[in-house]
Amino acid sequence: MKLKVCMNHKNYIYTLNLFCPECKNPTKEAHYKFIKIRDAPKSG
């Protein structure tokens, strides 16, 4: 199973379903670029 994400929301909803449990829209495959790591130190 691949992680899916619904980007219709301010806070993206991650799910394994093909459809968002909140808005019922089809979800997209979640790529790493969509996942922001909060603990990452700020550089520059």
Which residues here bind Zn ion, judged by CB under 5 A? 6, 8, 20, 22-23
Which residue's beta carbon is nearest to the bound Zn ion?
A: 20
In the complex with Zn ion, the residue whose CB is nearer, 16 or 22, is 22
Minimum distance between the CB of residue 16 and Zn ion, rounded to whole angstroms?
A: 14
Neighbouring residues of 26: CB distance < 8 A, sequence distance ≥ 6: 18, 19, 20
Q: Minimum Å distance from CB 5 to Zn ion? A: 9
